[in-house]
Amino acid sequence: MRPKVRNVLIAVAVILVLVFSAAYYEGVGPFQSNDFYYFHYAISINYNGSWNLVYWAENGTATPYTLTITQYLGSGPYNLTVIYNTMRTLNGSGNYERTITTYGVGYVENTFCAKATKLDSQTLPLTLAVAGKTNSTTLTNPMAVACVTFAV
């Protein structure tokens, strides 16, 4: 074999090894994972009055939607825009506990958030907990927001 042809074949082989190595390392193409990953989020509200709960999750595997909520912090309100794939809302009263399950396919970074708002005039705080992260209402802020992110 002539040296020029041999060098071209070696260069092609090296390029193929590099391309497939990068694809394997990044988990794309034929090396993409199709495994399902489930995320379980414990959510609770500790409050004896009436409340509204909104929770949403974003995992990057479906077409996202947007939601703008007004959050009160410090001197006044500001708008928080969130991207989500799934969202639920419900009203209730008294203490509440539930486990919410979301899923993703392949490499997934999953973010789960909840917002609880007091619907009555009690001065006692409402405490929201999401997967161990807590936030409580205050006299000037009738809502609590908590978010967690996990990745696999």
DSSP of 20-77 = HHHHHHHT-GGG----EEEEEEEEEEE-SSEEEEEEEEE-SSS--EEEEEEEEETTEE
Same structural domain for residues 72 and 4?
no
Same structural domain for residues 98 and 86?
yes
Same structural domain for residues 51 and 81?
yes
| Domains: count for the chain | 2
Across residues 110-119, what is the average pLDDT? 91
Across residues 106-131, what is the average pLDDT? 89
Across residues 18-32, what is the average pLDDT? 50
Same structural domain for residues 26 and 87?
no
Give this prediction's pTM. Answer: 0.65
Domain that holds residue 109: 36-151
pLDDT single digits (tens) 36-83:
677 888 999 999 999 999 998 876 555 555 555 555 545 555 555 555
Q: What is the pLDDT of residue 145?
A: 93
Q: What is the pLDDT of residue 54?
A: 92
pLDDT at 100 over 80: yes
